[in-house]
Structure 1
Amino acid sequence: MKGPIQMKPDHTLNGRTEHMNNTDTAARAIRSWLGIPYASAERFRRPILLPFNPVLPYDQKGPAPLQPGDNSWLEADNGFSEDCLNLNVWAPEDAGDEPLPVIVYIYGGGFERGANTQTTSNASGLAATGRAIGVSLNYRLGPFGWLSLSQYGGAFTDATNLGLQDIITALRWVQENIARFGGDPQNVTVTGHSAGAFSSIALLAAPAADGLYQRLAAFSGGASRIVPAWWAEELANTFLTELGITDDPEQLLTLDGKLLAETLVKVNPRDIGDRNGIDNTTIGIVNDHSQTGGVLADTPLRVLESGRHRDVDILFSTATNEGDWWVINATEQFDPGSIDNLVDELVTKSRIPRSRARRIVAAYDVNGRTPVEVRGALLTDYLYTLPAARAALAHAAAGGNAHLLAVGPVEGAPAVHGTEMYGIVGQQRPQHSDEQAIRDTFVRDALLDFAAGKHDRLWNSVTTEPITHGIGNPPFDPTAHAAEVLRIFAGIERP
């Protein structure tokens, strides 16, 4: 890998100057470079790193990744394209001569939707504090980034975890170029929400990413949600069957891209339980270590247990009511209908013995909860709290530094999946309450302190206990709750 070009920012670079309104400081001037191409990639091929061209203006957002549905909420000013491998950089105008920590943000969206164009990917809020360089990247989505096709060979030899390969290539770009913008390539924190968090933690298991980052901060996603290789192949087969090209997969190279995106959504399981059961029958990061061109060497949790990355600091954050997003917004589809059906789900989707599944469900069937509320509370812990606590404990046991954070509700904002997305990038939710502003600012500042290695400004790290700091108004003691979740699910495997 090439070393940094220079350790002082290049103030002659083209870029747009903006003034940011910060929640606890006066307006700060920042410089932005939008839509920088970091790689090129043909359909279903690995990304090729591109050099940085300093003479271009970079004053417009780049294309967002091609994806299904109506995505006006993504603020994609320059549309959607398969040619989407671009990133944004934000730096304080008065950063000085000392290189700043770099925070690279990876958006979520179930590996199907999202972009670096949306407000909740706008890391200018981090740069506006004067304490960090913010970077937000695009990666390929849906069939283009996460459909496993390497088993077909030929033109598809590279097609495994392509979205993760995109992310790794963007981090290589950061290593080679971020010093130009005032960033320290030897102090890179990768953070993300949901799919972005799962992707951040997956870097631990990808040897190609070694040395490209020093810290990981995962919000609402831990060392879990890994897709087994057998399902990845089955989904590809189902996808080809739906398109009517099972005997001629190379037609994928020329079929309309929007058709491919919409078809994968049509055949891909939609329920959050399918997306997070022990077999994880959906798209996402594939456990491809035994496949042609595999990107992962093992699962992230096993890598943490091995201590191979004990030198990487890790922060895991979860919201106290993650699953209630689906309770509130997708009640009919999310409702199991009965407690017995919820027991059946644990048996069939996670292969938990029925007697044990009944005991697990009973632990959540309290306080007059309806079946849909029971499922929301149970899946909050099974899909988010449990993997975060287990991963943090494994990292600490191997000699690493891990912090756990629980984000609780505040006035005007319940603690559901996505509640902290604004704070991660230093933004404020429109029409926010005072409590929301305090919560979002805490998330921002905790991430900045973490990225700077200022552990003395954080709460206590995890030891042999899942020490968890709570913010907002958590409905329980976060450390005691994490310990109880570990007890409830003791011995239950999570992928």
Structure 2
Amino acid sequence: MNIDYMTSTACKIISGVRAWWGIPFATAERFRHPAIAAFDADRPYDRKGVAPIQPRAIDWLEADSGTGEDCLNLNVWAPDRPAARALPVVVYIYGGGFEHGANTQTTSNASGLAATGRVVSVSVNYRLGALGFLKLSQYGGRLAEASNLGFQDVIAALGWVKWNIAFFGGDPNNVTVFGHSAGGFQSLALLGAPSADGLYKRVGGFSGGPSRLVPASWAEELAALFLTELGIANAPERLVEMDTSLMVAALQKVGPQDIGDRNGADNRTLGLVLDGGQPGGVLHTHPMDVLAAGTHQDIDVLLSTASNDIGWWVANDLDRFNPHAIDNVTAEVARWRVPASRARSIVNTYNHGGRSPAEVRAAILTDWIYALPAARGVLAHAAAGGKAHLLMIGPADGAPAVHGTEMYALVGQDQPNRSPEQADRDTRIRDIVLDFATGEQINLWPAVTDRPVSGSVGKPPHDPAAHYTDVLNLFENIARR
């Protein structure tokens, strides 16, 4: 579409950024594939779109238009001043455990990236919970397309960007997709989805990487529990007409809620499903296998963790998270198909400095869920000839380095009441995103080669490169998928 966005009256202009809110990028019937929608450049896009249905649609969603199933919309931000050439594009995928989140919240407002004048930024919605990630395609009929639907929404959004972003001054051939937590897992999963090929040039995962994929057979077990809870095990197609509040409640009852259970070796939980060869399948290959094979060595990769990711659950959900005894932590590690003696050795490595059982568990899970896949992923990509960067985010004054500590920074927003030290850290995180997305990697630290070279921001409690190396050694030959 060869139109100068500077003449558009369909946007809002705020603080030097042009904003288009709530653009429909696709349509989808319940439990059906998304179909990419045409872009109407003359329609006003001056208010947020509908947010996805989810448990407890609370204030932090800032969902001015409410929640609903007609939620496949995206936001675009562009610098107010036109650039001499098409700008790189960043597409942000929010996290929330595949059950929460929206592009309406401040931590999805990527206007802060466009305000630098270096990029055009995009933030997309995708279906959540049973509507977006419960695998139901095995039941056929009207459910035959229901597999990884939320992930398919992300791919459809990237298709829309490919066709339309030039209108906003963006370069459709220079797109970086990055996200936090569930958004990071999806960004890296693009590598294993052939339908996404050609839609992106770089991928980045912050506290989410090439892991946490669920085998199709395990995902089908969760679906069976879900249908049984609803009393429709013999009539799954009744879901097509069912009230969404019933589905949300049922999934909360049968789906694992503990962060360890959701990320263990046998994570029969909601999330991305390895459904290649299955009805409605889209995710054909595990992203770690893609990285190792080198079939996408032309895609640059950035993987990042927070130094105390799981510390968030110690501070905010201790009643459910607390293992109460070190022996219970050892038993959990053993369930990862680790011999009992080695499980004890791993736990002993973390059990020092007067840590409580909950703090020991948090330190182990931080490395198991996030640091280990990140280190393995960048090394695999580098060995196959790709360019990969590894980062660790440490605390700053007033900002512990727990899960989500960087979410404001990732989209260039100022976290309320932040300290000067946190402001400096967050500005650096924002600039790392921009340097990566613009290809100005000369401003980053050296890419990984045969060892986990790592950049850092804030004040990690340990040398990041050394810690990643220690984690690789500690968990050597233990499968983590």
The bucket for the TM-score relative to the shorter chain is over 0.9
1:187-202 maps to which residues of 2 (within 5 A)?
Answer: 187-202=174-189
Distance in 2 of aligned mates of 1:464 and 1:9:
46
Q: Does 1:398 align with 2:384?
A: yes
Q: Does 1:462 align with 2:448?
A: yes
1:351-366 maps to which residues of 2 (within 5 A)?
Answer: 351-366=337-352
Match of 2:102 among 115, 134, 142: 115
Secondary structure (helix, strand or coil) at the match of 1:390 reads: helix
Shift of 1:70: 4.0
Of 328-337 and 384-393, the range deviating more from structure 2: 328-337
- Aligned partner of 1:205 in structure 2 is 192
Match of 2:63 among 76, 83, 100: 76
Distance in 2 of aligned mates of 1:193 and 1:95:
29
Q: Does 1:490 align with 2:476?
A: yes
Shift of 1:351: 1.5
Distance in 1 of aligned mates of 2:259 and 2:246:
24
Q: Which amino acid aligns with 2:11?
A: R
1:440-479 maps to which residues of 2 (within 5 A)?
Answer: 440-479=426-465
Shift of 1:278: 1.2
Secondary structure (helix, strand or coil) at the match of 2:177 reads: strand
1:309-338 Cα offsets, whole Å, 9 max, x none, are: 000001001100001000111112111111
Distance in 2 of aligned mates of 1:485 and 1:62:
42
Match of 1:426 among 398, 408, 412: 412
1:256-313 Cα offsets, whole Å, 9 max, x none, are: 0122122111210101111111121210000111311211121110011100100000
Shift of 1:96: 2.2
Q: Which runs of 5 or more structure 2 residues have no equivalent in the other structure?
A: none
- Aligned partner of 2:50 in structure 1 is 63
Q: TM-score, normalised by structure 1?
A: 0.96
Distance in 1 of aligned mates of 2:289 and 2:25:
31
Shift of 1:12: 2.2
1:266-305 maps to which residues of 2 (within 5 A)?
Answer: 266-305=253-292
1:79-228 maps to which residues of 2 (within 5 A)?
Answer: 79-228=66-215
> What percent identity do the matched residue pairs reach?
59
Q: Does 1:410 align with 2:393?
A: no
Q: Which amino acid aligns with 1:128?
A: A
Q: Which amino acid aligns with 1:65?
A: P
Q: Does 1:238 align with 2:225?
A: yes
Distance in 2 of aligned mates of 1:230 and 1:269:
16
Distance in 1 of aligned mates of 2:9 and 2:189:
34
- Aligned partner of 1:326 in structure 2 is 313
Distance in 1 of aligned mates of 2:342 and 2:10:
59
How many residue pairs get matched?
A: 481
Match of 1:49 among 19, 36, 46: 36
Q: Which amino acid aligns with 1:265?
A: Q
Distance in 2 of aligned mates of 1:480 and 1:420:
22
Distance in 1 of aligned mates of 2:220 and 2:35:
25
Do the aligned residues in 1 keep the contact of 2:393 with 2:458 (CA within 8 Å)? yes
Do the aligned residues in 1 keep the contact of 2:34 with 2:153 (CA within 8 Å)? yes
1:399-452 Cα offsets, whole Å, 9 max, x none, are: 000000100000000000000000100001000100111111111111111111
- Aligned partner of 1:18 in structure 2 is 13
- Aligned partner of 1:381 in structure 2 is 367
Do the aligned residues in 1 keep the contact of 2:137 with 2:146 (CA within 8 Å)? yes
Secondary structure (helix, strand or coil) at the match of 2:163 reads: helix
Q: Which amino acid aligns with 2:332?
A: E
Alpha carbon RMSD of aligned pairs, Å?
A: 1.0
Q: Which amino acid aligns with 1:315?
A: L
Distance in 2 of aligned mates of 1:129 and 1:17:
17
Structure 1 moving runs of 4+ over 4 Å:
none
1:78-123 Cα offsets, whole Å, 9 max, x none, are: 0000110000000001032410010000000000000000000000
